[in-house]
Structure 1
Amino acid sequence: MLILAFAALAVASPLVAGRWPAELVLHRWRWAWLIWVALLIQIGLFSFGFAERIGPALHILTYVVAVVFLWVNRTVKGTLIVAAGAVSNGVTIALNGGTLPATAWAQHAAGIDSDAEFVNSGVVADPVLPWLGDVFAWPEPLPLANTFSVGDLLIVVGVAVVAWSGSRRIGAHRSHVGEPTAV
């Protein structure tokens, strides 16, 4: 939820400067249904829980689906940064049996004490690529206290690049071919 909140702030950030994130909002995203499928699977996986045996595979699948969506939309500035973050998280999750490894410090700082049978992020015995796991914490008592990874940071930065790269001043009209753009 923390990364989703920061991504939403990244999308809205141009508005603070009187700019409209036009490219993000008006772009005709190819295969947009893929990102919604990945999101719905993750919501179901971590909000309602699925059987432990299928959870890790579904978790990895959501990253594959998201990367496919990002790849078909790679011409939009910032999508490859988001894809780098998703690949970082997805590969690390895949190499750690479906869980993004977290440091005990980050989990403690965020006030996370997970006893669930399947979690998207948790302390893993002998993690592979531990530095790409949830090594940072948005600590308690801050709202949405949670852990996050380098991949998560790349995702938020990429979303900000997408939002800002095609932004234009609020009130500026879309130019016609051959006319200068009001920026």
Structure 2
Amino acid sequence: MLILALGVLAVASPLVAGRWPATLLLRRWRWPVLIWGALAAQIVIIEFDALHGAAPVLHILTYVAALAFLWLNRAVPGALVVGAGALSNGLTIALNGGVLPARAGAVEAAGIDPGSDFANSAVVDDAVLPWLGDVFAWPEPLPLANTFSVGDVLIIVGVAIAAWSGSARLGRSAPDVNQGPGVAPNP
């Protein structure tokens, strides 16, 4: 939930400077069903602990779908940064049996109670690429206390780049978000 909240803040951040993140919000994305499906599947898998035995494999597949979406939309400023973060998380999850390894100190600082349910992030013995796992903590008693990874940071930075790159001053017309570079705008 922390990363989702930070993503929403990153998208909205140009508004603080009186700018509208027009190109990000108005763009005609290629194959948007991939990203919306991946997000919906992650919510079902993680928040509702659904699909018990298949959860690790489906978790990895959500990253495959997200990476495909980002590749199809790689011309969007920030998309490749988001893709690097998603690849970092997805690869680490795949190499650790469907779970992003977490640093025990970060889990403790965030006040996360390791349960028996499927966790997208958990302390893993003999983790592969542990430094790419959830090594940082947004600690308790802060709201949305949780752990996060280098990949998560890259995802948020990429979303902010995308939001700011095509932002326009409020009250001005936005650039045509679906024109390629060097193409004259439509009259």
Report the TM range for the smaller structure's normalisation. Answer: over 0.9
Higher mean alpha-carbon deviation, 116-125 vs 49-58, is at 49-58
For the residue of structure 1 that corresponds to 2:128, the secondary structure is coil
Alignment of 1:111-150 (within 5 A): 111-150=111-150
Question: Offset of 1:51 from its aligned partner?
Answer: 4.0
Aligned AA for 2:47?
Answer: S
Give the percent of matched residue pairs that are identical in Structure 1 and Structure 2: 66
Question: Offset of 1:174 from its aligned partner?
Answer: 3.7
Question: Offset of 1:175 from its aligned partner?
Answer: 5.8
Question: Offset of 1:9 from its aligned partner?
Answer: 0.4
Question: TM-score normalised to the size of structure 1?
Answer: 0.94
For residues 116 and 171 of structure 1, the distance between their equivalents in structure 2, rounded to whole angstroms, comes to 52
Per the alignment, residue 53 of structure 2 pairs with 53
> Which segments of 5 or more consecutive residues in structure 1 lack a partner in the other structure?
none
Q: Cα RMSD between the aligned structures?
A: 1.4
Per the alignment, residue 84 of structure 1 pairs with 84
> Which segments of 5 or more consecutive residues in structure 2 lack a partner in the other structure?
177-182
User: Relative to 1, partners in 2 of residues 1:127 and 1:17: Cα closer, same or farther, differing over 3 Å?
Assistant: same
For residues 184 and 122 of structure 2, the distance between their equivalents in structure 1, rounded to whole angstroms, comes to 54
Per-residue CA deviation, residues 28-48 of structure 1 (Å, 9 max, x unaligned), is 111001111001111110121
For residues 11 and 47 of structure 1, the distance between their equivalents in structure 2, rounded to whole angstroms, comes to 23
For the residue of structure 2 that corresponds to 1:134, the secondary structure is coil
Question: Offset of 1:22 from its aligned partner?
Answer: 0.8
For residues 164 and 49 of structure 2, the distance between their equivalents in structure 1, rounded to whole angstroms, comes to 36
Deviant stretches of 4+, over 4 Å: 175-179
Question: Offset of 1:114 from its aligned partner?
Answer: 1.6
For residues 59 and 174 of structure 2, the distance between their equivalents in structure 1, rounded to whole angstroms, comes to 40
For residues 79 and 128 of structure 1, the distance between their equivalents in structure 2, rounded to whole angstroms, comes to 26
User: Relative to 1, partners in 2 of residues 1:60 and 1:178: Cα closer, same or farther, differing over 3 Å?
Assistant: closer
For residues 52 and 151 of structure 2, the distance between their equivalents in structure 1, rounded to whole angstroms, comes to 24
Q: Are 2:34 and 1:42 aligned?
A: no
For residues 178 and 62 of structure 1, the distance between their equivalents in structure 2, rounded to whole angstroms, comes to 37
